[in-house]
Structure 1
Amino acid sequence: MRKPKITVIGGGTGIPVILKSLRREDVAITAVVTVADDGGSSGELRSAMQLTPPGDLRNVLVAMSDMPKLYEQVFQYRFQEGDGALAGHPLGNLIIAGMAEMQGSTYNAMQLLTKFFHVTGKIYPASESPLTLHAVFQDGHEVVGESSIAGYEGMIDHVYVTNTYNDDKPKASRKVVDAILESDMIVLGPGSLFTSILPNLVIPEIKQALLETKAEVAYVCNIMTQHGETEHFSDADHVAVLNRHLGQDVIDTVLVNIDQVPQEYMENNKFDEYLVQVDHDFEGLRRECKRVISSNFLRLEKGGAFHHGDLVVEELMNLVRSKRP
C-alpha cells in the first residue's frame, strides 16, 4: 500500500512540533507554510528584498530535516544586538533569502534546500508572493499587517489577505492545491488562529481545495488563548472561526488538550503571548465538527505551554489508519 499522504498547514512555532514527530512515521508529508509574517527579521528581509518571509519556512525546514544538531544550531543562530545590520537575523533566514535571490523565488529556494538538508517530505510556501494580512474587527476597524494586529484592542471578526507588492489576486503556490486534493489527511495547526493558520486558508485557491478535498480535516486546537487574537475563546470558538472563514463546516476532527497547565507554572513564567488556558465547550464542539479527540497533549518547556508532538501524532496516525480501506 502507498504511504498515507498528510498535509500540514500553518506557521509560527506550532506546526514544527507536529512535523518533527510526523517525519518519524511512514507517511508522505507536505507542509504548507504561511507567508504573511511582516515582523522581526522576516519582515525586514521581506521589505528589503520583496520576497516571501523566510522565518516560518526556516523553522519548518529544521523540523523536517535530519540535519545534525550542530548544523541546526548554525542554521538557527541569531545575530546579537550590536551586530549592526545583521542584529536579530537568524543565519537561516539570510541563507533562505540569499538562495531565493539566486534561484529567482523563495519557492525555488525551498525546493533546493529540502534536498540539501535531506528533508523528509515537501515544503511549500502558501503563496509564491508575499501576502499582507488584514484583520477586520467587530467594531469595523481594520488593521493592516500581521505584526500590528495584536496591538488593537477589540475582537476580530474576520481576516483576509492581499498581495503585498501588486494588485493581483493572491494565488496558492504551485503544487499546493494538488497536495490538498490528493491528501488522506489535512492537519491545521497548532498555531495562532488569525495570524498563522487563517492567512493560508483565506487564499481563494486553498479555501476551494479544502472545500473539495475528500481528506480528513483535523484541527489541533491551541492550548492557551492569545493576546490580541483569541481572548476569552473556547475550543469551540476556535473551530467556529475556521468554519466561518471557509464558508461551511469543513473541520472533521478536533484534537483538544485536557491536561491542566499548573497555576504556579503560569505565575512563574512570563507568557508574552498567552493569557489563560482555553476553556472547553464540548457541546459547542459537537455542533462544529464530527469528532473530538480529547487527551493529555501538554508539554511544558522553556516557560511555555506547547503540544507534545509525539502524543498528537499518535492520535493522528490512529485516525488516518482507521480511515484507510
Structure 2
Amino acid sequence: MRKPRITVIGGGTGIPVILSSLRHEEVDITAIVTVADDGSSSGQLRSAMKISPPGDLRNVLVAMSDMPKFYEKIFQYRFQENDGPLAGHPLGNLIIAGISEMQGSTYKAMQILTQFFHTTGKIYPASDQPLTLHAVFQDGHEVVGESQIAKYDGMIERVFVTNTYNDDTPKASHKVVKAIMESDLIVLGPGSLFTSILPNLVIPEIKQALQTTPATVAYVCNIMTQHGETEHFTDRDHVAVLNRHLGVDVIDAVLVNLEPVPQSYMNCHAFDEYLVQVEHDASGLAKLAKRVISSNFLSLKNGGAFHDGDRVVVELLRLIGESTP
C-alpha cells in the first residue's frame, strides 16, 4: 500500500515545526514554500541575483533533513554584522543562491539539495520566479513588498502577487499542482497569514488546484495574533480570510490551540511582532469549517509560543485515517 500523501503549504518559521515531526511518520511529504520574502538576507540575495528568496526554503530543508546537528549549525550559521558584504547572511542562503544560479532554477537547486542532505520528502518553491507581494488595505491604500506590509497602520483587505522581474502572470513551480491534486491531506500553516501562507494560495494555478483537489484541506491556526497583519483576529477571522482569497469555502478542518499562553511568558523583545493569543470563536468557526479540532497544541520555549509539532501531527494523521476508505 502506498504511503498517505501530505502536502504542507506556507513559509516562515511555522511549517518547519510541523514538517520536522511529520518526517518521522510513514507518510509521503511535499512542502510548498513561499517565494515572496523580500527582507533581510533573502531580500538582498533575491535583488542582487534575481532569484527566488532562499530563507524559507533553507528552514524547510533543515526541518526535513536527517543532517547531523553539526551540519545543521554550519548550514544555519549567520555571518556577523561586522563581516562586510556577508553580514547577516546565513551560509545556507548563500549555498541555495549559488546552486540556483548554477542550475538556472531555484526548483532545480532544491531537488539537488534534498538529495544532498537526505531529505525526507520533496521541497518545491511555490513559483520558480521571485514574487512581489501586494497588500490592499481596507482604506484602499496599497503596500508593495512583504517586508513593508506590517509597517502600515491599517487592516488588510486582500493580498495578491506579481512576478518581480516581468509582467507575466505568476505560475506555480514544476510539480506543485500535481502534488496538490494527488494529496490525501493538504496542510496550510501555521505561519503568518498574509505574508507566509496566502502568497502561495493566490498564485492562480495553486488557487485553482485547491478549489478542485479531492484532498482534505486542514488549516493549523496561529496561536498568537500578529502586528500589522491579524490584530484583533479570532480563529474564525483567519479562516474567513483564507476562504475569501480562495473564492470558495475550501477549509475542511481547523486545528486550534485552546491552552492559555501565560501572560507574563512571552519575550516581547525577541517576539515583538506577536501581540495577544488568538481568541477562540467556536460558533463562528463551526459555520466555516466542517471540522474543528481544538486541543492543547502549545509549546512554550525560548520566550515564545509555538505549536507542538508532535501533537499537531497526531491530529493530522487522524484526519487522514478518517478520510481514507
Same topology, TM > 0.5? yes
Alignment of 1:106 with 2:106, yes or no, is: yes
| CA distance in structure 1 between the partners assigned to 2:270 and 2:169 by the alignment | 40
**Identical amino acids, percent of aligned pairs:** 78
| CA distance in structure 1 between the partners assigned to 2:77 and 2:267 by the alignment | 30
Alignment of 1:167 with 2:164, yes or no, is: no
User: By how many angstroms is 1:269 displaced?
Assistant: 6.1
User: By how many angstroms is 1:267 displaced?
Assistant: 6.6
| CA distance in structure 2 between the partners assigned to 1:166 and 1:319 by the alignment | 41
Alignment of 1:223 with 2:223, yes or no, is: yes
Aligned partner of residue 259 in structure 2, secondary structure? coil
> Which residue number in structure 2 is paired with residue 186 of structure 1?
186
> Which residue number in structure 1 is paired with residue 238 of structure 2?
238
Aligned partner of residue 222 in structure 1, secondary structure? coil
User: By how many angstroms is 1:165 displaced?
Assistant: 0.1
User: By how many angstroms is 1:268 displaced?
Assistant: 7.0
| CA distance in structure 2 between the partners assigned to 1:241 and 1:293 by the alignment | 19
Contact 2:267/2:303, CA 8 A, preserved across alignment = no
Amino acid of the structure 1 residue aligned with 2:72: E
Amino acid of the structure 2 residue aligned with 1:305: A
Amino acid of the structure 2 residue aligned with 1:229: E
Alignment of 1:52 with 2:67, yes or no, is: no
Contact 2:267/2:304, CA 8 A, preserved across alignment = no
Aligned partner of residue 260 in structure 1, secondary structure? coil
Contact 1:46/1:52, CA 8 A, preserved across alignment = yes
| CA distance in structure 1 between the partners assigned to 2:268 and 2:173 by the alignment | 43
**Number of equivalent positions:** 325
Contact 1:269/1:304, CA 8 A, preserved across alignment = no
Contact 2:10/2:188, CA 8 A, preserved across alignment = yes
Amino acid of the structure 2 residue aligned with 1:322: E
RMSD across aligned positions (CA) = 0.8
Q: Deviations over 1:195-253 (max 9, x none)?
A: 00000000000000000100000000000000000000000000000000000100000
| CA distance in structure 2 between the partners assigned to 1:46 and 1:304 by the alignment | 29
Contact 1:74/1:91, CA 8 A, preserved across alignment = yes
User: By how many angstroms is 1:187 displaced?
Assistant: 0.1
| CA distance in structure 1 between the partners assigned to 2:112 and 2:261 by the alignment | 41
| CA distance in structure 1 between the partners assigned to 2:265 and 2:55 by the alignment | 29
User: By how many angstroms is 1:322 displaced?
Assistant: 1.5
Q: Deviations over 1:243-275 (max 9, x none)?
A: 000001000000000000001213776521100
Contact 2:132/2:161, CA 8 A, preserved across alignment = yes
Amino acid of the structure 2 residue aligned with 1:187: V
CA change 1:270–1:50 in 2 (3 A) is closer
1:1-325 correspondence runs (5 A): 1-266=1-266, 270-325=270-325
Contact 2:189/2:219, CA 8 A, preserved across alignment = yes
Amino acid of the structure 2 residue aligned with 1:158: R
Contact 1:11/1:33, CA 8 A, preserved across alignment = yes
Contact 1:269/1:303, CA 8 A, preserved across alignment = no
Amino acid of the structure 2 residue aligned with 1:287: K
| CA distance in structure 2 between the partners assigned to 1:31 and 1:251 by the alignment | 18
| CA distance in structure 1 between the partners assigned to 2:270 and 2:149 by the alignment | 21
| CA distance in structure 2 between the partners assigned to 1:242 and 1:179 by the alignment | 20
Amino acid of the structure 2 residue aligned with 1:218: A
Q: Deviations over 1:263-319 (max 9, x none)?
A: 121377652110000001011101111000000000111111100000000110111
| CA distance in structure 2 between the partners assigned to 1:239 and 1:9 by the alignment | 15
| CA distance in structure 2 between the partners assigned to 1:88 and 1:53 by the alignment | 14
| CA distance in structure 1 between the partners assigned to 2:300 and 2:145 by the alignment | 30
| CA distance in structure 2 between the partners assigned to 1:106 and 1:85 by the alignment | 22
Contact 2:62/2:72, CA 8 A, preserved across alignment = yes
Aligned partner of residue 288 in structure 1, secondary structure? coil
* Uncovered stretches (5+) of structure 2, i.e. residues with no partner: none
* Uncovered stretches (5+) of structure 1, i.e. residues with no partner: none
